[in-house]
């Protein structure tokens, strides 16, 4: 099929009549965001599928096609501007006409139309169906094809339903719907859809049914044989039991395989966010670590403030710089001592002349003198109540009190001086101590500032990552990923266990069959034995052949994928590796990128993943050698290169042009915002010329269509919106 | 893929070739519509595989195809075994 043109009348944002002419080669439709690119893709879908891509259910597993039908879209299919201009009772329609040819002489026109009538300002009469008309060109005019069956047949001939998803797709989501690389069975499904491999599965089915009929005949023959006895009956019972066990285990195996596929898919989905989640988690751990440090620093600062006043006393810091006082006191104490000695000397001198020296006589003698009422110093009586007695009495008090008082004062003064000396030792390093501890505190305050700044920076980093990725439950993602990994490991182990059990049951069945035939030897007719052997061998053979056919197709697909993959990636100069389809334990194949050492490359970026998928999709088309799909069906893709840089976009477009005889690629690339007018874009002529030159080297043509909006309009005001289509052609 | 190619592929299965002595020459020269003489001398497995490929191409349900194959096998096998003796 070749697409010649598409006409959009009041369809979505395409107000009034808009016609785009397509040519052989690469048709590049360029438009910025909101300029009708996806709506153009929707127009193709609407004509062929009576529905458009439903963004709301994007990614819903229940509806992988994501198609919303006319019955659910109704007047939203019609341009808001056209609806706004429609008066009460008036009818307004949208329609899309696609002109195609199947061969040089067979041309068709496909037209889908939907009309509504305005009842009031807010009410509309909206039918649930659109009308589809198909016309065949007859020399100069178009003849209507009214037979519904014929219409379906022609549509299927133009582009088979099974092929359409591989040649018509939208960006990443479309690619994901076509080929889900996380599902090991995806490639088998692809092979099944695009090859005649199903016929081999039919052969297996027929052979199994035939073998089952023969088996029934064989068992009946055993039961009616003369040798049939308890032993044979027991063996037959065992056989039935083993067969039911086998069916059960095989069912379990299928369920486990499905579970493994789902888990693998879940893991793949999580992997996409894992590195970001790990980064966020790492930052959080870093933040927690910093917070722990901050708490410790704060504790030390608090300790400083709480212990400083205590240390003024405990560590005698208050006495700092009081050395001069001690010196003064020591000087005074020395003077005092000197004074005391001098005074004692003078007292002694005077007492020697005039009286008894201090402390003489001893108290015991004084007491004796008082008892005897006699002074033995001057040897004369001293009667109680006489002045002499009183003089002796006085001697007792004076000697005792004077001595004690003097000693006490002296002691206190001496102690005070000694304490001063002891203390002076303790506070001699106080200044240094205080300087050190204050420096330490200042350094802690600085550290606190740094830590607070670090924590704020980490928090900022975390928030940026969350905003950019939309991941706010990083821990959940990491935990879910680990759980999925664990479940996959367990599931794979179960799978291996089940496969082992199935093999054992098959072995038991074989020996059971051998025992039955041994016990009934000679009883079963040779032709029945032969029939049984033939049909069982046929089953085995068809199974083996189907597998080898799959394997060959997979190898071919791998080869073709690599050819496309290399051509898309090589010009970029970046590492791209090689695609390998690895057989999985659950009987599927998973595409992987391997490096030169044959090791799987993990954590592919979106650009690598997209080019991997696009290369496989191209290979699905080009590997099918029985039909030249690439030449027969045009590729229509909306935003397939959104993940690519300029170099890769260019090599992808060249590859598309070289692979498909006609392709319509709708992108926002190759445009430049006009300097003097925001929201208006002009073509990036330099890059387009470069692309055109590259295509020319392979004799491929470039046809450019530019989607813009009329000056003065804004894409957000849908009631005035229309699209300005410029048919640029070649540069 | 034409039915004859699928027939050749099926007969090329190594186990089948070994167990039923199917030579490469035979595979190369095999046809979907052998003459009665050729049919008379053919291995039963070859006949069976040919019928399988043929019946599947008739666009009939697999169950019906299996029944037809059973009838063919049933009717040809005694003669084949007789000939083998």
ipTM reported for the complex, 2 dp: 0.96
535-574 of A, contacting B, C-beta below 8 A:
535, 537-538, 540-542, 544-545, 549
Band of the pLDDT at A534, cuts 50, 70, 90?
A: very high
Residue A494 contacts residue A256 (beta carbons within 8 Å): yes
Is the overall model pTM greater than 0.90, yes or no? Answer: no
Query: To the nearest 10°, the Cα dihedral for A71, A75, A79, A84?
Result: 180
Task: Provide the Cα torsion A257, A261, A266, A270; round to 10°.
Answer: 120
In chain B, which among 22-61 make CB contacts under 8 A with chain A? 44-45, 48-49, 52-53, 55-56
Q: How far apart are CA B37 and CA A659, in angstroms?
A: 50
The residue of B69, B82, B83 whose CB has the most chain A CBs within 10 angstroms, and thus the best one to mutate to test that interface, is B69
Give the CA distances from residue A697 to residues A63, A234, A436, A649, A664, in Å, rounded to whole numbers and listed in that order.
43, 77, 79, 18, 20
Contact criterion met (CB < 8 Å) for A538 and B48: yes
> Judging by DSSP bridges, how do beta strands A51-53 and A25-30 pair with one another?
unpaired
pLDDT score at A48 = 93
Highest mean pLDDT among A372-381, A387-396, B19-28: B19-28
Find the closest chain B residue to A544 by CA distance. Answer: B13
Most A CBs within 10 Å: which of B12, B13, B51, B61, as the mutation test of the A interface? Answer: B13
| pLDDT reading at A625 higher than 70 | no
What does the block give as tokens for A424?
A: 């002076």
**Cis bond before residue A361 (omega within 30° of 0):** yes
CB neighbours of A439 closer than 8 A, spacing ≥ 6?
none
E strand or H helix at A442: helix A430-469
Task: Return the H-helix or E-strand segment holding A118.
Answer: strand A107-118
Return phi, psi of residue A305, to 5°.
-65, -35
Nearest-Cα distance to chain A for B8, in Å, is 11
Least confident range from A48-52, A318-322, A540-544: namely A318-322
Cα angle A318-A322-A325, degrees, rounded to a multiple of 5: 140
Closest residue by Cα to residue B57 from B3, B1, B19: B3
Contact between A179 and A186 (Cβ < 8 Å): yes
- Say yes or no to pLDDT of A458 above 70: yes
Q: What length does chain A have?
A: 731
Strands A662-667 and A671-673: unpaired
- Asked if A81 contacts A15 with a C-beta cutoff of 8 angstroms, the reply is yes
Whether residues B15 and A541 touch (CB distance < 8 A) is answered with yes
A668 vs A62, A117, A173, CA distance in Å? 30, 35, 17
Rounded to an integer, what is the distance from CA A507 to the centroid of its chain?
46
A424 confidence band (pLDDT: 50, 70, 90): confident
**Comparing C-alpha atoms, which of A99, A105, A135, A137 is closest to residue A23?**
A99
Q: Where are the alpha helices (DSSP H) in B1-85?
A: 3-11, 14-19, 24-29, 36-40, 44-57, 62-84
Residue among A210, A530, A540 minimizing CB distance to B70? A210
Q: Using an 8 Å CB-CB cutoff, list chain A residues near B78.
A: 527
How large is the average pLDDT for residues A417-430? 83
Here the contacts of A201-204 (C-beta below 8 Å, separation 24 or greater) are A201/A546, A202/B56, A202/B62, A203/A542, A203/A545, A203/A546, A203/B10, A203/B52, A203/B53, A203/B56, A204/A539, A204/A542, A204/A543, A204/A546
To test the contact with chain B by mutation, choose from A209, A212, A543 the residue with the greatest count of B C-beta atoms within 10 A, namely A209
The tokens describing A302, both together, are 């608090």
**Cβ of A203 and B10 within 8 Å?**
yes
Of A49-63, A515-529, B52-66, which has the strongest mean pLDDT? Answer: B52-66
Q: What is the pLDDT of residues B1-22, one digit of tens each?
A: 788 988 999 999 999 999 998 9
> Does position A419 have pLDDT exceeding 70, yes or no?
yes
Q: What are A225-274's pLDDT values in tens digits?
A: 777 777 888 888 899 899 999 999 999 998 898 888 788 878 877 776 78
Residue of B66, B68, B84 to mutate, testing the A interface (most A Cβ within 10 Å of its Cβ): B66
Q: Is B10's Cβ below 8 Å from some Cβ in A?
A: yes
SS3 A104: coil
pLDDT of residue A627 exceeding 70, the answer is: no
pLDDT value of residue A397: 59
Q: d(Cα A290, Cα A450) in Å, to the nearest integer?
A: 10
Contacts of A530 in chain B (CB under 8 A): 44, 77, 81
Residues of B in contact with A202 (CB under 8 A): 56, 62
CA distances, A226 to each of A149, A222, A505, A516 (Å): 61, 8, 29, 13
Q: Which helix (H) or strand (E) holds A632?
A: helix A629-632
SS3 of A4-37: EEEEEEEECCEEEEEEEECCCEEEEEECCCCCCH
Q: Which residues are A144's β-sheet partners?
A: A135
CB neighbour list of residue A12: distance below 8 Å, 6 or more residues apart: A36, A39, A42, A43, A77, A78, A79, A94
Say which residues have a Cβ less than 8 Å from residue A237's Cβ, sequence separation at least 6.
none
Yes or no: say if A323 and A484 are a contact pair by the CB < 8 Å rule: no
Beta strands A681-683 and A671-673: pairing type? antiparallel
Interface check B15 vs A, CB under 8 A = yes
> CA B64: distance to chain centroid?
17
- Nearest-CA distance from A211 to chain B in Å? 9
Write out pLDDT tens, residues A121-177.
889 999 999 999 999 998 888 899 999 999 999 999 898 887 888 888 887 556 666
Tell whether A530 lies on the interface with B, counting CB pairs under 8 A.
Answer: yes
CA torsion through residues A250, A254, A260, A261, sign: positive
Give me the pLDDT at residue A176, please: 65
Tell me the C-alpha distance between A641 and A615, whole Å: 12
Cα(A438)–Cα(A306) distance, integer angstroms: 13
Token pair of A611 as six digits: 């080019």
Least confident of A235-244, A311-320, B18-27: A311-320
CA of A198: which chain B residue's CA is closest?
Answer: B56
| 3-class state of residue A96 by DSSP | strand
- Rounded Cα distance between A547 and A77, Å, is 47
Closest-CA distance of chain A to residue B38, Å: 20
CA distances from A126 to A129, A155, A414, A578 (A): 9, 27, 117, 53
Q: List the single residue in B16, B20, B52 with the smallest CB-CB distance to A203.
A: B52
> Tokens 């319509």 belong to which residue?
A664
Asked whether A115 and A132 are in contact (CB, 8 A), the reply is no
Two structure tokens written together for B34: 């052998």
Question: Does the CB of B72 have a partner CB in chain A at under 8 Å?
Answer: no
Asked if residue A707 lies in contact with residue A723, where contact means CB atoms within 8 angstroms, the answer is: yes
**Contact between A672 and A631 (Cβ < 8 Å):** no
Give yes or no for residue A63 having a pLDDT over 50: no
Q: For residue A644, what are the contacts with CB-CB under 8 A and spacing of at least 6? A: A607, A610, A611, A652
Q: Is A221 exposed, middle or buried (0-12, 13-18, 19+ CB in 10 A)?
A: middle
Residue range B40-64: mean pLDDT, rounded: 87
Q: What is the dihedral of CA A429, A433, A439, A445, to 10 degrees?
A: -170
Q: What is the pLDDT of residues A14-24, one digit of tens each?
A: 999 999 999 99
What is the reported pLDDT for A92?
Answer: 96
The percentage of chain A sitting over the pLDDT mark of 90, rounded to a whole number, equals 43
Shortest distance between the Cα of B35 and any Cα of chain A, in A, equals 23
Going from the C-alpha of A270 to that of each of A60, A95, A274, A493, the distances in angstroms are: 16, 42, 6, 22
Interior angle at CA A75, CA A120 and CA A725, nearest 5: 120
3-state secondary structure of A141: strand
* Candidate from A106-110, A174-178, A378-382 with smallest mean pLDDT: A174-178
- Between CA A663 and CA A459 the distance in angstroms is 48
Nearest to B47 by CA among B73, B75, B15: B73
CB A722 within 8 A of CB A34: no
Burial of A514 (0-12, 13-18, 19+ CB in 10 A): exposed
For residue A460, the model assigns a pLDDT of: 87
Q: Are strands A635-638 and A168-170 parallel, antiparallel or unpaired?
A: parallel
Tokens of residue A115, six digits? 């009309």
Higher-pLDDT residue of A107 and A348 is A107
Instruction: Indicate the residue of B44, B55, B66 with minimum beta-carbon distance to A534.
Output: B44
Average pLDDT of span B13-42: 89
The angle subtended at Cα A259 by Cα A255 and Cα A261, nearest 5°, is 115
Residue A625: name the closest of A76, A194, A293 by CA.
Answer: A194
Cβ atoms of A638 and A668 closer than 8 Å: no
């Amino acid at each position: 099929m070749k697409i010649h043109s598409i006409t959009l009348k009041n369809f979505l944002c395409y107000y009034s009549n808009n016609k785009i002419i397509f040519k052989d080669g690469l048709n590049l439709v360029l438009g910025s965001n909101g300029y009708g690119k996806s709506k153009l893709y929707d127009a193709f879908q609407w004509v062929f599928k009576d529905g458009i891509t439903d963004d709301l259910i994007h990614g819903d597993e229940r509806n992988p096609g994501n198609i919303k039908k006319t019955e659910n879209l109704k007047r939203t299919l019609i341009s808001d501007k056209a609806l706004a201009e429609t008066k009460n009772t008036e009818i307004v329609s949208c329609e899309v006409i696609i002109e195609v040819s199947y061969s040089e002489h067979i041309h068709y026109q496909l037209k889908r139309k939907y009309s509504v009538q305005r009842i009031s300002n807010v009410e509309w009469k909206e039918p649930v169906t659109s009308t589809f008309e198909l016309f065949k060109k007859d020399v100069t005019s178009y003849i209507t094809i009214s037979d519904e069956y014929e219409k379906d047949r022609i549509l299927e001939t133009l582009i088979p339903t099974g092929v359409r998803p591989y040649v018509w797709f939208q960006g990443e989501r479309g690619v994901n719907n076509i080929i889900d690389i996380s599902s090991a069975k995806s490639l088998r499904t692809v092979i099944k859809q695009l090859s005649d491999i199903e016929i081999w599965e039919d052969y297996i089915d027929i052979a199994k049914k035939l073998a089952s009929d023969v088996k029934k005949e064989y068992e009946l023959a055993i039961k009616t044989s003369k040798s049939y006895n308890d032993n044979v009956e027991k063996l037959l019972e065992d056989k039935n039991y083993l067969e039911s066990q086998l069916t059960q285990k095989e069912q379990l195996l299928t369920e486990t395989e499905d579970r493994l596929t789902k888990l693998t898919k879940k893991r793949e989905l999580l992997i996409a966010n894992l590195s970001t989640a790990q980064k966020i988690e790492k930052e959080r751990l870093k933040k927690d670590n910093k917070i722990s440090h901050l708490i410790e620093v704060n504790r030390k600062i608090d300790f400083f403030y709480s212990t400083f006043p205590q240390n003024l006393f405990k560590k005698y810091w208050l006495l700092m710089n009081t050395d001069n006082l001690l010196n003064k006191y020591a000087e005074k104490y020395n003077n005092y001592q000197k004074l005391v000695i001098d005074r004692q000397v003078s007292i002694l001198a005077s007492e020697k002349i005039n009286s008894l020296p201090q402390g003489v006589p001893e108290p015991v003698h004084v007491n004796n003198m008082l008892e005897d009422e006699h002074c033995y110093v001057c040897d004369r009586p001293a009667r109680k109540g006489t002045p002499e007695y009183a003089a002796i009495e006085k001697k007792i008090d004076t000697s005792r009190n004077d001595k004690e008082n003097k000693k006490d004062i002296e002691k206190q003064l001496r102690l005070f001086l000694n304490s001063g000396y002891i203390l002076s030792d303790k506070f001699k390093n106080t200044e240094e101590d205080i300087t050190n501890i204050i420096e330490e505190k200042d350094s802690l305050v600085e550290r606190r500032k740094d830590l607070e700044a670090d924590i704020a920076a980490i928090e900022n980093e975390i928030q940026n990552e969350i905003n950019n990725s939309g991941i706010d439950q990083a821990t959940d993602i990491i935990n879910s990923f680990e759980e999925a990994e664990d479940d996959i490991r367990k599931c794979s182990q179960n799978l291996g266990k089940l496969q082992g059990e199935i093999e054992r049951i098959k072995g038991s069945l074989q020996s059971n069959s051998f025992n039955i035939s041994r016990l009934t030897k000679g009883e079963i007719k040779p032709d029945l034995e032969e029939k049984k052997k033939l049909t069982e061998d046929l089953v085995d053979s068809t199974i083996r052949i189907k597998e080898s056919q799959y394997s060959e197709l997979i190898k071919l697909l791998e080869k073709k994928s690599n050819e496309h993959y290399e051509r898309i990636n090589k010009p970029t100069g970046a590492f791209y590796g090689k695609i390998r389809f690895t057989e999985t334990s659950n009987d599927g194949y998973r595409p992987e990128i391997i490096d030169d050492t044959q090791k799987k490359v993990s954590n592919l970026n979106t650009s690598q993943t997209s080019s991997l998928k696009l290369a496989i999709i191209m290979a699905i088309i080009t590997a099918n050698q029985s039909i030249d799909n690439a030449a027969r069906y045009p590729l229509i893709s909306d935003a397939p290169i959104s993940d690519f840089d300029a170099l890769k976009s260019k090599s992808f477009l060249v590859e598309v042009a070289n692979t498909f005889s006609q392709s319509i690629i709708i992108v926002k690339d190759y445009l430049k915002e006009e300097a003097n007018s925001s929201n208006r874009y002009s073509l990036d002529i330099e890059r387009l010329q470069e692309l055109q030159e590259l295509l020319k080297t392979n004799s491929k043509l470039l046809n450019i269509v530019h989607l813009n909006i009329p000056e003065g309009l804004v894409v957000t005001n849908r009631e005035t919106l229309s699209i300005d289509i410029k048919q640029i052609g070649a540069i | 893929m034409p039915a004859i190619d699928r027939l050749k592929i099926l007969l090329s299965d190594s186990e089948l070739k070994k167990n039923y002595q199917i030579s490469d020459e035979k595979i190369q020269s095999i046809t979907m519509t052998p003459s009665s003489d050729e049919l008379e001398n053919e291995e039963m497995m070859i006949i069976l595989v040919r019928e399988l490929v043929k019946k599947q191409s008739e666009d009939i349900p697999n169950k019906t195809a299996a029944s037809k194959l059973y009838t063919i096998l049933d009717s040809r096998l005694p003669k084949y075994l007789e000939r083998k003796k």
